[in-house]
Structure 1
Amino acid sequence: MRRAALVLLTVLAGLVALAAPAFPALSRYGALPRVADGPVNVLLAGVDVDYDDAAAVWPYPPKPEAYDQRTDTLMLAQVRPDGAVKLLSIPRDTWVNIPGYRWSKINAANPQGGPELLVRTVQELTGLRVDAHVLLSLGALRALTEAAGGVTLDVPGRMKYDDNAGHLHIDLQPGRQHLSGEQVEGFLRFRHDNLGDIGRVARQQAFLTAMTNRMTNPLNWWRLPGMVGALHQNTRSDLTRDEVGALLGAALHGPRISTYTVPGDFGGPTWVPDRAALSALIAEHFRDPNDPRGLRVAVLNVGAPDGSARQLREQLLTLGYQNVWVADAPRADVGTTVSGAAAEQVLRDVGHGQLSRDAGAPGADVTVRLGTDTPAP
């Protein structure tokens, strides 16, 4: 009996040791898998290192990670309840209008206004609401790869580059091979080919697909606590337990990954998005058919303070609605009503009022009539 107890205690100690790296993440994000009502959109952003140029040594050492530098990698991941995962890569040099700032490369949004401004910029670019963000330090994917025991990838060509200031040394031969964490970092950061940042985007997508396959392989499940711990130590996120539960529920059905890139073309040192092609891509692959933000919404001011209709239009556009317009209507002493398809869901985004069966405005799927109960702008 004592020998059996000793064996049992040894096994339990081993399991605890294996699971220990995941304990901090579990205490922060621990949740049971659940079936979500719809897709969860998570923005993944790899953040550059800030080096201490006042240090007395060379190469300059990195400062403590504050997650406030430019974004080197940007992906919008849509995770659906059935396990389908759609990844939209946004090149770091994408030329956008950063709200309240100016036209610039999208990688400037995070240092200008943190993850909140970055999220808003991505929402305005894509028309998709971002439910949560995850900022990853430069060492996140290296640490994840080491915890996973490496990952097998196809190196498309010779990669040789040295940057002493950036602590980056890349030396990879072409061909399919099993890469260490350091090698993966070089594979993902290499930009010195004819494709530049677009080539990096393709390699990022290949890495995430390969890593997902490795994580879902039952032979590697014993590594999962270490991988979870590695990510937790190298990320900053606003994911809620409810969202984590939805992601875990989706993972039980897959995942099945599809990858896309913001369409566009090179414009000097920037990537100029093709807005029409991007809208078509979003509509075909990312728009939830049950999501009211793809509907045509008319906003009528029938009894609200002046400017209320324009303010609501801006509010809905910020939430990801694609087609919202303001129309004229006779004044009346009535409350706010919402009528038409998915009116109940739109009402939640309006924030006040009642459902109605009144006829809608011409050409609209949903009609919002702002009444006297509307707060002043």
Structure 2
Amino acid sequence: MTPTQPKRLMTWLGRYPLRTLLRLSAAVVGLGATGWMLSTVWPEPDQVAPAAPVAADNPINLAPLPLGPVTLLLVGIDADQTGDPMNNAAPRGRANADAVMLLRVDAQQPLRVLQVPIELALQLPGQTTPSGLGSLWQEGGVALLNDAIRELVGLPADQPHRYVVLPRRVLRSVVDGLGDLDVILNASFQRKDKAQNYTVNLQAGRQSLNGAQAEQLARYLKDPLDDPNRRLRQQLLIRAVVEQFRGPRTMGKIPGLVDIAASDVETNLSKAEMLSLAAAILSSPASVQIKQLPLAKRAGKQVLRQIKAGESLPLWPRL
């Protein structure tokens, strides 16, 4: 179904089209140039001898903590690998962004997560109808998505500091590496799609999810209007992953998990920076705070939605 034009768009490109077009032409330069801005955030990469064992109870033995909060753009895509020419979804085509969120990692504060709805309506230059934020991944990759979210949320020019593009295979591998995730599901979820070779079979109640089941929970979508409920299910998964990550027997697994992630994700994080973020999450208070961008009520069965009227920038508290 083709969505109709919303009466009011919380646009990013519409307000500053010339500046955005200039940014697009220099996207690669822009992303590459942010590294020097973090020279005051990232300490020296390794304070532990490479052969030294990881202590079971001291996060700073993984890597030095960041010297300040770090904002990370996380993009979950519907392909099994970042280089796949086709997605693992319907309709078949190039990979889409299934989940988009900002993470703020600070050793002194709880991990903070902002879910950015992929059905958020944005107007692209030259288009007569709006596009969903999730489709920007197809249009211009992480550079376009990064710039759009910065202006949409009201982040400073140097944020997000880093990005990670997460394919589904990495989600499965990381969960299997951490160990089964404990969740409580308030309903059962079943779906079988032969075209995608995709099956969901999750029962209501307390469950321990392996990597394949965690993918099912993150991926399940009842219908095209079910994205808000999918984000709530993804919140369950985020909380379970963080709890398992902070478990008493996890620290020794983290270097291996970083190796897995580094080889299969698309990111501008170095391995040393990944370990530093892991150490910060382990050092931070136990709770994780998750928010969503506030959306206006849906107009009928229209898929795309707008930012709630009256919201002012920034839409997420600054550092």
When normalised by structure 1's length, the TM-score is: 0.58
Aligned in 2, Cα 1:166/1:84: closer, same or farther, shift over 3 Å? same
Give the CA deviation at 1:84: 2.4
Please, which runs of 5 or more residues in structure 2 have no aligned partner? 1-50, 55-60, 89-93
- Counterpart-to-counterpart distance in 2, 1:195 and 1:144: 29
Aligned in 2, Cα 1:245/1:153: closer, same or farther, shift over 3 Å? closer
Cα RMSD, aligned residues only: 3.2
**Greater strand content:** 1
Aligned in 2, Cα 1:98/1:209: closer, same or farther, shift over 3 Å? farther
Match for residue 117 of structure 1?
144
Q: Which amino acid aligns with 2:181?
A: V
Aligned in 2, Cα 1:100/1:213: closer, same or farther, shift over 3 Å? farther
- Counterpart-to-counterpart distance in 2, 1:193 and 1:238: 34
Structure of greater Rg: 1
Q: Which amino acid aligns with 2:306?
A: V
Instruction: Note if 1:105 corresponds to 2:132.
Output: yes
Give the CA deviation at 1:150: 1.5
Match for residue 311 of structure 2?
277
When normalised by structure 2's length, the TM-score is: 0.68
SS in 2 for 1:42: strand
- Counterpart-to-counterpart distance in 2, 1:215 and 1:223: 9
SS in 2 for 1:184: helix
Match for residue 197 of structure 2?
167
Conserved? CA contact 1:76–1:89, under 8 Å: yes
Which of the pair has the greater relative contact order for Cα pairs under 8 Å at 6+ separation? 2
SS in 2 for 1:192: coil
Give the CA deviation at 1:157: 0.6
Aligned in 2, Cα 1:216/1:233: closer, same or farther, shift over 3 Å? same
Conserved? CA contact 1:263–1:278, under 8 Å: no
- Counterpart-to-counterpart distance in 1, 2:262 and 2:73: 16
How many corresponding residue pairs? 246
Question: What percent of counterpart residues are identical?
Answer: 26
Instruction: Note if 1:257 corresponds to 2:257.
Output: no
Match for residue 148 of structure 1?
178
SS in 1 for 2:249: helix
- Counterpart-to-counterpart distance in 2, 1:157 and 1:213: 22
Q: Which amino acid aligns with 1:257?
A: V
- Counterpart-to-counterpart distance in 1, 2:80 and 2:103: 26
Please, which runs of 5 or more residues in structure 1 have no aligned partner? 1-15, 20-29, 52-59, 63-67, 289-377
**1:42-99: CA deviations, max 9, x gaps?**
0000112289xxxxxxxx996xxxxx72201111111224142210001221112347
Aligned in 2, Cα 1:31/1:171: closer, same or farther, shift over 3 Å? closer
Aligned in 2, Cα 1:146/1:246: closer, same or farther, shift over 3 Å? closer
Aligned in 2, Cα 1:61/1:95: closer, same or farther, shift over 3 Å? closer
Match of 2:70 among 33, 40, 43: 40
Match for residue 4 of structure 1?
none
Match of 1:178 among 183, 190, 208: 208
Give the CA deviation at 1:241: 6.5
Match for residue 352 of structure 1?
none
Give the CA deviation at 1:194: 9.9
Match for residue 340 of structure 1?
none
Instruction: Note if 1:79 corresponds to 2:105.
Output: yes
Please show how residues 14-93 of structure 1 align to structure 2 within 5 Å: 32-36=63-67, 38-49=68-79, 69-93=95-119
- Counterpart-to-counterpart distance in 1, 2:177 and 2:244: 11
SS in 1 for 2:288: strand
SS in 2 for 1:273: coil
